[in-house]
Amino acid sequence: MNDLCHNLVIWGASGHALVVLDILIPQKNYKIVGLIDSINTEIHGTELKGFPVLGGREKLSYLKTTGTNCGFVAIGNNNARMHEGTYLRSLGFDVIRVINPQSIISPDIKIGSGTLICAGATIIAASQIGQDVIINTSSSVDHECVIEDGVHIGPGVHIGGRTTIKQGAWIGIGATISDRITIGANSIIGAGSVVVRDIPSNVVAYGVPAKVIRNIDSSVQY
């Protein structure tokens, strides 16, 4: 992170942004200048936890030229989060990581920019976490896992060692992924599922054990 990265804009102004603000406010590492939201235009001019909702993406260039040099995308949709994170970087924003101090992270873990790690999350030795990832509340990632860009690991998920979760996949709340498993890109694992075999890309799978239920149209981004 750039040492001069002090003024922060948050992209997103709903529930996910509340989680981000709960982590950032006590840390006092940034001056949060406000939030933007390009979807829920009716909230422009309102506040979230005392911070103004400044408008939509059209505000970013102005913010950049007036001293706001870092940003974070607080959007739950995986494809949207990756897309907007790429856009922030293209404008020259330093996209930060947001890490709850109540998480447990081995010192050798590599964590990409734009990633959120929530309270109670545990990430164990030699794992790699990509950009724009969500590691949600009380989830665990065991040793030597690879979590690629844009993945969402839901609350209470447990992932065994040497597992790979490919780009944009979504692991639903309370799922368990056995060791040495690969979850394909953009796939969705249903809540409470137990995954004991590899899951291909662009599918929905759930159950105990998890089975592929249907395909996902990969051409639909968000």
Backbone torsions φ then ψ of 107, nearest 5 degrees: -65, -15
Residue 177 resides in a domain: yes
The answer to whether 34 and 45 are in contact (CB under 8 A) is: no
The answer to whether 197 and 179 are in contact (CB under 8 A) is: no
Q: Rounded to the nearest 10 degrees, how much is the dihedral formed by the CA atoms of 198, 200, 203, 207?
A: -10
> 205 and 132 in one domain?
yes
> 89 and 129 in one domain?
no
Query: Is 80 strand, coil or helix?
Result: helix
- Say how far apart CA 168 and CA 132 lie, in whole Å: 9
- For 16, the domain range is 7-96
pLDDT at site 121 = 98
Q: Out of 96, 120, 141, pick the residue that ends a domain.
A: 96
Residue 221 resides in a domain: no
Residue 87 resides in a domain: yes
> 117 and 85 in one domain?
no
Which CATH number do you get for residue 110?
Answer: 2.160.10.10
pLDDT at site 2 = 45
pTM of the model: 0.94
> 120 and 80 in one domain?
no
> 77 and 26 in one domain?
yes
> 204 and 111 in one domain?
yes
> 133 and 51 in one domain?
no
The answer to whether 85 and 114 are in contact (CB under 8 A) is: yes
Tens-level pLDDT at each residue, the chain (222 residues) = 444 568 999 999 999 999 999 999 999 899 999 999 999 999 999 999 999 999 999 999 999 999 999 999 999 999 999 999 999 999 999 999 999 999 999 999 999 999 999 999 999 999 999 999 999 999 999 999 999 999 999 999 999 999 999 999 999 999 999 999 999 999 999 999 999 999 999 999 999 999 999 999 866 555
> 202 and 103 in one domain?
yes
> 106 and 76 in one domain?
no
